[in-house]
């Protein structure tokens, strides 16, 4: 359907009939014309030119009314999932991976130590965890054109950066936007998860649903937040993937041999890992102490979540003013050409 921004201008459309009322110009003076038979081809050509004039005026009036085709939804079927990326934006994400410290073996903070670190640390190990995570998430999203992505960045509070879309340009821009500025010192994973799960409110279930948490730390959720997150995850049937970016001297996700048992309740990473496993929905955790491990974790998610998905693709509004102006211009050029071919006098 075609809509108009200024539909009242369509009341001028009857004026387009004016060329049909116009009288033909005076014939060239020649006494013998009255003796000639009627030229039906010339008559048809004259009426055709009048019709072209009508089309030119009608196209101009319609163009002034600003016609457009409104946005509409198209149902598509592909292989993928609905994925909410939950990206940690805390200050610790501006630091390097655990593997960078081990490989660099840096001591001290002076210029010599920094030069030694840069020379001994290859490739992406020199970059911060946040930068590498955004690069790899961008590559991950680009490989999955049928997925619908939403995105949240969080520190103290969650920020909804991107609503569900499968438009790769918007997804890449949202992921890259997290590279601006420095993060805060605190994180609240509970509020971020609650906000991520709310993406699925009032959404029809059309395929796999994933919340992908990318963070370098854990959190101890209070009872209220834990109950809400658990209820929303089960209600919307959402799988949770936690890609844990391990920093230097950071704990893993499970107690190590010889570690005090009471640490299972006091260390945030242990507590969060145990909570995710108790929700009752699919849960996968990956520890990444270097960029290669992060790449492996993302590749594993890409391999696991490739089930059929049905989604609505929103086609944007399309302006139709330019085609109307082009049609009017073509009609005017045709009338001009006919006028230039007209015989002004007898040879």
Helices 168-177 + 129-142 axis angle, to 10: 180
Note the pLDDT tens digit of each residue in 21-69.
Answer: 876 655 555 556 566 667 788 778 888 889 999 999 999 999 999 999 9
Radius of gyration of the chain (CA): 34
Q: Distance of CA 299 to CAs 34, 40, 46, 76, 172, Å? A: 88, 75, 70, 25, 18
Mean of pLDDT values over 275-280 = 88
Torsion of CA 145, 147, 150, 155, to 10 degrees: -90
pLDDT given at position 54: 93
pLDDT tops 50 at residue 204: yes
CB 47 within 8 A of CB 279: no
Least confident range from 59-63, 141-145, 150-154, 327-331: namely: 141-145
Residue 110 phi/psi, 5-degree rounding, is: -80, 180
Top pLDDT among 13 and 252 is at: 13
- The predicted structure's pLDDT at residue 179: 66
Query: Percent of the chain scored above 90 by pLDDT?
Result: 18
Query: Could you tell me which residue, 33 or 282, shows the higher pLDDT?
Result: 282
Nearby residues of 328 by Cβ (< 8 Å), 6 or more positions away: 55, 56, 57, 59, 60, 63
**pLDDT of res. 109:** 36
pLDDT class of 177 with cuts at 50, 70, 90:
confident
Cα dist. 329→6, 53, 252, 322, 333 in Å?
A: 21, 11, 70, 10, 6
Alpha helices in the chain, H assignment, sequence order: 18-21, 40-64, 98-104, 111-120, 129-142, 168-177, 189-197, 223-236, 263-266, 268-278, 291-304, 321-340
pLDDT one-digit tens code per residue, 80-126: 788 899 888 877 776 666 654 444 433 333 344 334 333 444 444 55
Query: For residue 205, what are the contacts with CB-CB under 8 A and spacing of at least 6?
Result: 236, 237
Q: Which of 25-34, 100-109, 181-190, 225-234 has the lowest mean pLDDT?
A: 100-109
Element (H, E) at 245: strand 239-245
210 sits in which H/E element:
strand 208-215
Measure Cα distances from 162 to 168, 227, 249 in Å: 12, 26, 33
Residue 11 reports pLDDT greater than 90: yes
Q: What is the mean pLDDT of residues 279-304?
A: 79
A 10 A CB-CB count for 52 gives 17
200 versus 288: which is more confidently predicted?
200
The SS3 of residue 265 is helix
Question: Which of 145, 81, 125, 75 lies closest to 315, judged by CA?
Answer: 75
Beta bridge mates, 159? 153
- Write down the pLDDT at residue 183: 59
d(CA 225, CA 203): 22
Angstrom distance (rounded) from CA 240 to CA 285: 8
Q: What is the mean pLDDT of the chain?
A: 78
Tens of pLDDT, residues 326-340: 999 999 999 999 888
Q: Which domains does the chain possess? A: 3-70+317-340 (no CATH), 73-98+127-314 (3.40.50.410)
Lowest mean per-residue pLDDT among 18-22, 147-151, 310-314, 316-320: 310-314
């Amino acid at each position: 359907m075609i809509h108009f921004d200024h539909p009242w201008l369509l009341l001028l459309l009857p004026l387009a009939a004016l060329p049909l009322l116009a009288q033909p110009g005076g014939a060239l003076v020649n006494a013998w014309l009255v003796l000639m038979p009627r030229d039906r081809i010339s008559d048809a050509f004259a009426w055709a030119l009048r019709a072209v004039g009508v089309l030119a005026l009608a196209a101009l009036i319609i163009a002034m009314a600003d016609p457009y085709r409104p946005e509409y939804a198209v149902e598509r079927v592909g292989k993928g999932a609905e994925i909410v990326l939950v990206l940690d934006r805390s200050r610790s994400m501006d630091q390097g991976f655990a593997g960078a410290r081990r490989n660099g073996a840096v001591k001290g903070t002076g210029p010599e130590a920094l030069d030694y670190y840069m020379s001994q640390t290859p490739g992406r190990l020199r970059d911060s965890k946040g930068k590498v995570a955004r690069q790899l998430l961008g590559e991950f999203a680009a490989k999955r054109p049928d997925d619908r992505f939403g995105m949240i960045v969080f520190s103290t509070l969650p920020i909804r950066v991107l609503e569900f879309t499968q438009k790769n340009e918007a997804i890449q821009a949202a992921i890259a936007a997290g590279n601006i500025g420095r993060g805060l010192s605190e994180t609240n994973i509970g509020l971020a998860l609650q906000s991520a799960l709310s993406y699925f409110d009032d959404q029809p279930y059309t395929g796999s649903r994933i919340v992908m948490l990318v963070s370098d730390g854990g959190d101890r959720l209070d009872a209220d937040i834990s109950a809400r997150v658990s209820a929303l995850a089960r209600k919307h049937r959402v799988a949770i993937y936690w890609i844990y970016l391990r920093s230097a001297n950071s704990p893993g996700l499970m107690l190590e041999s010889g570690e005090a048992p009471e640490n299972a309740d006091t260390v945030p990473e242990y507590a969060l890992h145990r909570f995710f496993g108790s929700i009752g929905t699919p849960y996968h955790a990956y520890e990444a102490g270097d960029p290669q491990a992060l790449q492996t974790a993302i590749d594993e998610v890409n391999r696991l979540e490739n089930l059929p998905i049905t989604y609505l693709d929103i086609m944007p509004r399309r302006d139709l003013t330019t085609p109307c102006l082009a049609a009017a211009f073509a009609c005017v050029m045709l009338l001009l050409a006919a006028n230039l071919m007209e015989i002004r006098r007898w040879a």
